[in-house]
Structure 1
Amino acid sequence: MSDATGPGFHKPVRRPADVFDRLFGTEDPAEVSRVAHSTAAALLSRVREEPDASVVDRLVQFTDLHGIHDIAELWSRSPARTLPGTLWRLYLLQLMIHDDPRTAALLFERGRVELSTADIVVAGAPAPAGPEELVELSDTILRGVFEGDFGVALERAAAFCRIEADGATRLADDYELTEPERATDLTARALRLSAFAADLTAAASLWRRDTLN
């Protein structure tokens, strides 16, 4: 990431963001979209229909083992409120925590003590939650995508994002006068997390209506 508290969700992508152009440069954009949607649907349905612990473990650990670039090739260009776009955001969220769990814990704890919403309960993190607990939480949420209630997993991820966004916003306010560049990075991170929360909440609703495609 660009720095310990910067907004960067994209630095872990180890190949250029235009990888789709290279892989499918001669294809119609509709074909790129079809590949993204079909791979996401096939993966999710296959694993959820016959959940195997070792397969789920490998999927949860995928970015640790292989990086994010393989997933980026499949899903990063998909609209947010689609199945591939949702899976992409869940993996980015997990990677954000794994890549810098100390900052994630700092933001989460700040948001946890300030918020008076039900998000703390929905996210399901212990209080207080340190770096190790947040890594475990991110893996638990992703595991729920493959072997639990998908809608609940999305709502937990959205709640987590809202808590982190609140913590980032409050820290940005703290740094506004003394470290304006850091405050700007934190504000950008808060905005990104808030957008993720809205997209994941919408995706949960679409999933329950059987319209998340």
Structure 2
Amino acid sequence: MSDESREFHKPVRRPAELFDRRFAAEDPAEVSRVAHSTAHALLARVREDRDGTVVDRLVAFTDEHGIDDIAELWSRSPAKSLPGALWRLYLLQLMIHDDARTAALLYERGRAQLTSADEVVAGAPTPAGPDELVALIDTILRGLFEGDFAVALDRAAAFCRVQAAGAVGLADDYEATEPDRASTFTTRALRLSDYAADLSACAALWRRDALS
């Protein structure tokens, strides 16, 4: 698993039928091909779904199965690609579901510090508690499959920027008294900032019909 998945990883059940294990082998070109083809096929399949049951299953996927099965393919994809974007959204969702209380703390702290429109773009209610943050990230993920894909990516990027600002603030708070904890929040802030940049770039590529 890639380094960027370690912070938000948890033990999971791994349904063998989800992905063909032949492609978990070590041919990078084949892994890349399958990652891109499955991401595009998944998006096309869901957008053809009329009753929403497929979307419901996809939004609930990480709660049931964690992230390992997706990681086998998508975590190795370039950041500015369709599987790379989907991977980051699922990883972000897993982070929020795993520790919604901390996510809410970061969000409220970041909201107080930022002067940008990111909190408006992200769309969380005021105040945003743990339940509201879980609902928000699920709504954003649902928007990838049901609504405007680029808008959903922009919302996710804004969400990451608010969270990153909150993590920086908490890191500053703990720097003098708990440096290890400050370092953890600094690492999270950097990762969230990277995700925000990647997702914004993917949104721009999608609008140009260039997200492969």
Cα 1:150–1:51, aligned 2, differ >3 Å: closer, same or farther?
farther
| Equivalent-residue separation in structure 1 for 2:125 and 2:197 (angstroms) | 23
| 1:208 pairs with 2:203 | no
- 1:137-159 deviation per Cα after TM superposition (whole angstroms, max 9, x unaligned): 00000000110000000000000
Match of 2:109 in 1: 110
Matched-pair identity in %: 73
Instruction: Determine if the alignment matches structure 1 residue 141 to structure 2 residue 135.
Output: no
Does residue 186 of structure 1 match 2:185? yes
1:161-205 per-residue CA deviation (whole Å, 9 max, x = no partner) reads 000000000110011000000000000000000000000000000
Q: Does 1:196 align with 2:195?
A: yes
Deviation at 1:12, TM superposition (A): 2.3
Mark the runs of 5 or more structure 2 residues left unpaired by the alignment: 14-18
Q: Which runs of 4+ in 1 moved over 6 A?
A: none
Matched, 1:79 2:82: no
Match among 6, 10, 21 for residue 12 of structure 1 = 10
Aligned residues: 202
Given the superposition, is the C-alpha separation of residues 61 and 196 from structure 1 closer, same or farther in structure 2, using an over 3 Å criterion?
A: same
> Measured at CA, do residues 26 and 119 of structure 1 come closer, stay the same or move farther in structure 2, by a change above 3 Å?
closer
Q: Is the Cα contact below 8 Å between 1:97 and 1:135 reproduced in 2?
A: yes
Is the deviation greater in 76-85 or in 51-60?
Answer: 51-60
Letter in 1 for 2:105: L
SS in 2 for 1:210: coil
1:129 and 1:122 mapped to 2: Cα distance?
Answer: 14
Where does residue 33 of structure 2 map in the other structure?
A: 34
CA distance in 2, matches of 1:33, 1:51: 30
Distance 1:25 1:107 in 2: 35
Q: Which amino acid aligns with 2:199?
A: L
Q: Distance in 1 between matches of 2:149 and 2:51?
A: 16
Amino acid at match of 1:9: E
CA distance in 2, matches of 1:25, 1:68: 15
CA contact 2:74–2:84 (8 Å) conserved in 1: yes
With over 3 angstroms needed to count, the CA separation of the structure-2 counterparts of 1:75 and 1:107, relative to structure 1, is same
Provide the rounded CA distance (Å) in 2 between the counterparts of 1:77 and 1:188: 20
Q: Is the 8 A contact 1:51 1:147 kept in 2?
A: no
When residues 174 and 27 of structure 1 are mapped into structure 2, their CA distance, relative to the original with a 3 A threshold, is closer
Query: Given that residues 24 and 32 in structure 1 are in contact (C-alpha distance below 8 angstroms), is that contact kept between their aligned partners in structure 2?
Result: yes
1:34 positional shift: 0.3
Q: Which residue in 2 is equivalent to 1:62?
A: 61
Give distance in 1, aligned partners of 2:161 and 2:11. Answer: 24
Partners of 1:13 and 1:72 within 8 A in 2: no
Q: Identify the residue that residue 4 of structure 1 maps to in structure 2.
A: none
Partner of 1:3: none
Cα drift, residue 67 of structure 1: 1.4
Q: Residue 70 of structure 1: CA displacement?
A: 1.2
Gaps of 5+ in 1: 1-6
TM-score by length of 1: 0.90
What is the 5 A alignment of 1:148-163?
148-163=147-162
**Amino acid of the structure 2 residue aligned with 1:157:** A
Is the 2:171–2:181 Cα contact (8 Å) retained in structure 1? yes
Distance (whole Å) between structure 1 residues aligned to residue 22 and residue 71 of structure 2: 12
